[in-house]
């Protein structure tokens, strides 16, 4: 069974309470529930983690290279400031899809730059928490194509 690791960065533990006009009223638990339901239907194991600490995310990305078939990463504010997080994504073979709940390109200009995007296989931005499911579908398609290649 394919495994997708879902990593959420700083402040995403406040999802549903923090700036609901930007991020919506759904919580991280709602994201997890939606992904787990999708995973049960698609035959994919979903593991979800959140940390407000950059080093945790980097360690989990390194670990994912040996334990996961794909990663969904919402780096939060680290997107725009963490060269190290971008380097961690670039340093692993496991495919990573970068996800943002809000449309970062329609917000403050500094949010339009990502240190992660250069190494991610794709970016989903501005589609709310549905972006996580879209990322999971894209990863599963890629995993299956790779398995067919053998």
The reported pLDDT for the residue numbered 98 is 98
Q: Does domain 3-149 have CATH number 3.40.50.2000?
A: no
Active site residues: 23, 100
Q: Please list the ranges in the chain whose pLDDT falls under 50.
A: none
Strand partners, 6: 48, 72
Q: What is the pLDDT of residues 55-98, one digit of tens each?
A: 999 999 999 999 999 999 999 999 988 999 999 999 999 999 99
Structural domain spans, the chain: 3-149
Terminal Cα-to-Cα distance of the chain (whole angstroms): 16
Is 38 buried (19+), middle (13-18) or exposed (0-12) by CB count in 10 A?
middle
Query: pTM of this prediction?
Result: 0.94
């Amino acid at each position: 069974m394919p495994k997708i690791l879902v990593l959420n960065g700083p402040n995403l533990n406040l999802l549903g309470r923090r700036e609901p006009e930007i991020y919506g009223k759904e919580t991280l638990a709602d994201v997890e529930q939606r992904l787990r339901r999708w995973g049960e239907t698609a035959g994919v194991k979903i593991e979800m983690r959140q940390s407000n600490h950059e080093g945790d995310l980097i360690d989990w990305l390194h670990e994912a290279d040996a334990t996961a078939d794909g990663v969904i990463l919402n780096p939060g504010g680290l997107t725009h400031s963490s060269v190290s997080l971008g380097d961690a994504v670039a340093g692993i073979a496991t495919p990573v899809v970068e996800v943002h709940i809000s449309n970062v390109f329609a917000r403050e200009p500094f949010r339009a730059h990502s240190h992660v995007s250069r190494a991610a296989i794709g970016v989903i931005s501005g589609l709310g928490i549905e972006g996580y499911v879209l990322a999971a579908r894209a990863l599963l398609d890629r995993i299956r194509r790779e398995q067919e290649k053998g």
